[in-house]
């Protein structure tokens, strides 16, 4: 009997994997949702700070506008968590 093939997730219509190239819009959606799914909303800021720090080490941005993405992350960090206030 042949081994079973692992199940594959099909991309949703808004899934970034549905595109042939990862775009600035895809990256902006990613960083905007980063940590937003977490039940502990205060855990989001460290994730955004780590993402921003990792940007300095990213050498290939492809079709992604690095400046636009970094500005979005900085804005998200500046906004903070309104529930924590």
Domain membership flag for residue 5: no
Q: What's the domain count of the chain? A: 1
Residue 74 lies in a domain: yes
Residue 30 lies in a domain: yes
C-alpha closest to that of 31 among 45, 42, 21: 45
Q: Provide the greatest CA pair distance for the chain.
A: 59
Question: Would residue 85 count as lying in a domain?
Answer: no
Query: Model pTM?
Result: 0.67
Domain assignment present for 19: no
Could you report the per-residue pLDDT of 32-54, keeping only the tens digit for each? 998 877 777 668 899 999 999 99
**Range from 10-14, 20-24, 45-49, 53-57 carrying the lowest mean pLDDT:** 10-14
Task: Assign 23 to helix, strand or coil.
Answer: strand
Give me the domain span that covers residue 63.
24-80
């Amino acid at each position: 009997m042949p081994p079973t093939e692992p199940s594959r997730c099909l991309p949703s219509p808004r899934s970034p994997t549905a595109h042939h190239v990862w775009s600035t819009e895809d990256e902006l959606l990613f960083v905007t949702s980063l940590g937003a799914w977490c039940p502990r909303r205060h855990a989001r800021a460290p994730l955004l700070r780590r993402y921003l720090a990792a940007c300095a080490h990213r050498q290939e941005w492809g079709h992604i506008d690095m400046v636009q993405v970094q500005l979005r992350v900085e804005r998200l960090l500046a906004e903070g968590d309104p529930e924590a206030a």
